[in-house]
Structure 1
Amino acid sequence: MEVSCSTVWNDCLEVIRENVGEENFNTWFRPIAPLRVDGDVLTIQVPSQFFYEWLEDNYVPVLKRAIHTVLGPTGRLEYSVVVDSGNQQAPAVSVNYPANGAGNRRSAVNGFGSDDYSPFSIKALNPHTVNSRLNAAYSFDNFVEGDCNRLARSAGVAVAKKPGITSFNPLMLYGGVGVGKTHLVQAIGNEIKNNMPNKVVLYVDQSDFTNQFLNALQNHKLQDFQNFYQQVDLLILDDVQFLAGREKTQEMFFHIFNQLHQSGKQIIMTSDCPPRDMKGFQERLLSRFKWGLTADLQEPDFETKLAIINRKMQADGIQIPTEVSEYLAYSVDTNLRDMEGVLNSLIFHATLLKKEIDLELAKEVLKNIIKEIQSDVSVDFIQKTVAESFKVDLDAMKGKVKKREIVIPRQVAMYFCKRYTQLTLALIGENFGGRDHSTVIHALESVEDMMKTDPNFKATVDDLGKKLKMRVS
């Protein structure tokens, strides 16, 4: 009675399962498909050359034991390896390799591409010689944590402790320009590199990844390119959103992503938007982006900016008055890169002019480099500042929510709009859910009454007034 290849392979799997861990079994043996059995030779199909190499390098004794148990002492194993040409229009092909055929597998694939090209020319990566392309200045210690980035930082710390093991794989961090994405992902990379020196860590931005891929494509070295990336333990891809519309590059990244993820390697990506808002991407790739954790980094709030300013100045050995750091935190409301530029300019001017850093110098420096600083403040700025101070949702405060914890901050914001803008009462009301001028009048009276009877409330409003006054003075 002829035995089917599926039966033979299932019997082999029973032996293999007893000799490897469950995770390794699911990763390296579940994806294998039996193709045929011819006498004492079983042919199995594996999804890539990398997969084949891994089995040959790590599981030959286990495979031999399984084959000999099921097919007898003369039992042999052969592979059919799926080879991707890198051409999206061309179907994948299969190349047959004998087991333990290190020499044969070279010649079997030399016909694929140029005559002198071997997809196995890249040796195993040495973590001590690979340029990780990380900036050693980026660390968790100098990454200032705040409400704007707490989730992302916590996820980063967890990944750095157990790369590839947590459910945060991939870790997708998104946010606007200058909110600290690159700092955070490089801090993760540096932490892993320092604490786990045997891990191969690689940081690459989208443009370099794309250029490397195009160069490999032109020189018929796609398999070298893929093999290189598949040996990385932590891959950090910055600005992944710029892969949009690049079909072939996406195809290659899809395969690299799959192999790394299946091998328990860690993947980290940054983007300016969450996967659900990405356009020009294959659906199967977007689906994988959502497998792990997606966390956003928002624009820093006042307290976080204040901490960043003080940290930067302390690192440079410079002490600045509290009124200066608060003025800068409120005045620079773009992003952290702009803030760093302002601080560097302030330090330069103080050094050049041999002056102490005070409020007057800070205002003079800012006047020359931040066009957004005007003689008055906008309604948006007042609303944002008040919402941050009272720790309430900005949209709720601007809308029609009538809960007391929202109404009071709304009235305070109206109070400051009357005080620091040229808007009429009717226009102020329009900026708060379309309320009429009588509602604004009531808000002004309520704030003034509460300031007379509640010292804590008065202190809060006075403090807000000082901060807003810095903006207009």
Structure 2
Amino acid sequence: MNKSSEINTIWNQLLPLLEKSLNKPIYEALVSSTKPVTINSKCLEIAVPNEVVKDWLSKHCVTLIEQEISSIYPEINKVEFFVGHSEMFTTPLLEETTSSEAAAKPIVASNPFLNQRYTFDSFVIGHGNRFAHAASLAVAEAPAKAYNPLFLYGGVGLGKTHLMQAIGHHLASSNPRAKILYISSETFTNELINAIRDDKTLHFKNKYRNIDLLLVDDIQFLAGKERTQEEFFHTFNALYENGKQIVVSSDRPPKEIPTLEERLRSRFEWGLTADIQPPDYETRIAILKKKAELSDLSIQDEILSYMASKIQSNIRELEGALIRVIAFASLHGSELNITLVDKVLKDIVGPVTAKTNISIDIIKKTAAEFYSISLDDMSAKIRTKEIATARQVAMYLARELTKSSLPKIGEEFGGRDHTTVLHAHDKIKTARKNDLEIKQAIKAITEKLKSYAP
């Protein structure tokens, strides 16, 4: 039963039933974005793109979905939702075939493995992404001739994946026989590990070195993986020397990726590096309008403008907020107004959002007070565990909540190097997932910082 074809057959029978039972905004904004994964002990496990969708479906739609699916397949009586990796919704274009099969099978533009929503037409251009968009379009129109490689970097949810896949769609449309592969660096690593384990490294090399366009997301996760970096280095060289296009994305520029081999770093800098900044107010409004338009929804400009003023961090949160508001209004039969928006978003929007006008000095002062250390300790060379932790938490918050560069943050903490700031940020980012004390400290300090936000 866990064969993907059988699960997809059941899913394709289920979707029309849900479309009839749910109103259009709920179905299009929530249900249509999900993906069935497996069946375990009569339970269908469904991947969703984010926590917003997971929460709404779990609270309001799970009973209906369970009833409908049991009516067509009685052996399934339960469904569960989990937030899947972004790549689950954008599966690689090349399947595991032999090299001869891969050469015989053209990749056509209608291939479903690139997210159909991620095209140049649906991308909203603003001040913060105009250069990256222009570079991506140039690459799509002249692969391996304009900029090779193209290195896109920026924060989470700013449109890197959208632009990468738009390049793939454009090339697939202009050259239906082009062989295109979109992956995450995590997938590249896992496939390499499996290939080594199963003695299929030749197949692995044939898969990755016989394509026309390689799109690799989150390349920063190759850092520290020596064998993976070595294999990617050889893959890069093979594609580049054969005139094939390479596009990679990261949350930071090549020079700021720690433990990345210098030979890889230099190759990433051979072509063009383009950054993507958080959208400004006007761009956020345009993004919301585009999202509403694509969902065939009519929403007052006043409401969209208000939401754009509240969500300032990234596009993913912006679109998630719109989905949440639409879903709430539809489920409760409420009028869509600013009062409702405030009610729905109150638990996800606060005065402190990513990149506020809070100064590093205030962050240092607030963190020092929380940890009961002096403000001078934040900049001193003292390395006791307590002071080091306080300093790293403050650096993490400075990186998350201000627009300051890494060198600027390092300067504010006693003239420390930008790599020290990056190390502190990554360490706390990882620690907050499992360390309750760190998690509570960040929450408490952030709450205190809200009183300083403009």
TM-score bucket (shorter structure):
0.5 to 0.7
2:115 — aligned with what?
135
2:229 is equivalent to residue 265 of structure 1:
no
- 1:191 partner amino acid: H
2:142 — aligned with what?
162
1:152 equivalent among 123, 132, 149: 132
Written as runs of structure 1 = structure 2, the 5 A alignment for 1:88-127 is 124=103, 126-127=105-106
1:366 — aligned with what?
345
User: Any stretches of 5+ residues in structure 2 without a counterpart?
Assistant: 1-97, 360-452
- 1:313 partner amino acid: A
Give the Å deviation of 1:373: 6.7
1-structure distance, mates of 2:177, 2:298: 41
1:324 — aligned with what?
303
- 1:201 partner amino acid: I
Give the Å deviation of 1:283: 0.7
2:43 — aligned with what?
none
Larger radius of gyration: 1
2:273 — aligned with what?
294
2-structure distance, mates of 1:232, 1:159: 16
Written as runs of structure 1 = structure 2, the 5 A alignment for 1:39-438 is 124=103, 126-128=105-107, 133-166=113-146, 168-372=147-351, 380=358
Give the Å deviation of 1:380: 4.1
Q: Secondary structure at the match of 1:189?
A: helix
2-structure distance, mates of 1:140, 1:313: 17
Kept in 2: contact 1:125–1:231 (CA 8 A): no
Judged with a 3 Å threshold, the aligned counterparts in structure 2 of structure 1 residues 187 and 245 are, in CA distance, closer, same or farther, namely: same
Identity of aligned residues (%): 44
Kept in 2: contact 1:213–1:225 (CA 8 A): yes
- 2:118 partner amino acid: Y
Q: Secondary structure at the match of 1:369?
A: coil
User: Any stretches of 5+ residues in structure 1 without a counterpart?
Assistant: 1-118, 382-470
Kept in 1: contact 2:108–2:176 (CA 8 A): no
Kept in 2: contact 1:174–1:272 (CA 8 A): yes
Judged with a 3 Å threshold, the aligned counterparts in structure 2 of structure 1 residues 129 and 191 are, in CA distance, closer, same or farther, namely: closer
2:62 — aligned with what?
none
1-structure distance, mates of 2:335, 2:122: 25
Kept in 2: contact 1:232–1:265 (CA 8 A): yes
1-structure distance, mates of 2:113, 2:264: 25
2-structure distance, mates of 1:276, 1:132: 35
Deviates more, 1:351-360 or 1:208-217: 351-360
Q: Normalising by the residue count of structure 2, what TM-score does the alignment of the two structures yield?
A: 0.55
The C-alpha deviation readout for 1:215-259, integer Å capped at 9, x for no partner, is 111122212211221111000000000000111111111111001
Judged with a 3 Å threshold, the aligned counterparts in structure 2 of structure 1 residues 362 and 133 are, in CA distance, closer, same or farther, namely: same
Kept in 2: contact 1:133–1:204 (CA 8 A): no
Judged with a 3 Å threshold, the aligned counterparts in structure 2 of structure 1 residues 143 and 120 are, in CA distance, closer, same or farther, namely: closer
- 1:142 partner amino acid: S
Q: Normalising by the residue count of structure 1, what TM-score does the alignment of the two structures yield?
A: 0.52
Q: Secondary structure at the match of 2:289?
A: helix
- 2:229 partner amino acid: Q
- 1:217 partner amino acid: I
Judged with a 3 Å threshold, the aligned counterparts in structure 2 of structure 1 residues 348 and 329 are, in CA distance, closer, same or farther, namely: same
Kept in 2: contact 1:203–1:236 (CA 8 A): yes
2-structure distance, mates of 1:154, 1:305: 19
Give the Å deviation of 1:339: 0.9
Written as runs of structure 1 = structure 2, the 5 A alignment for 1:15-26 is none
Give the Å deviation of 1:126: 2.0
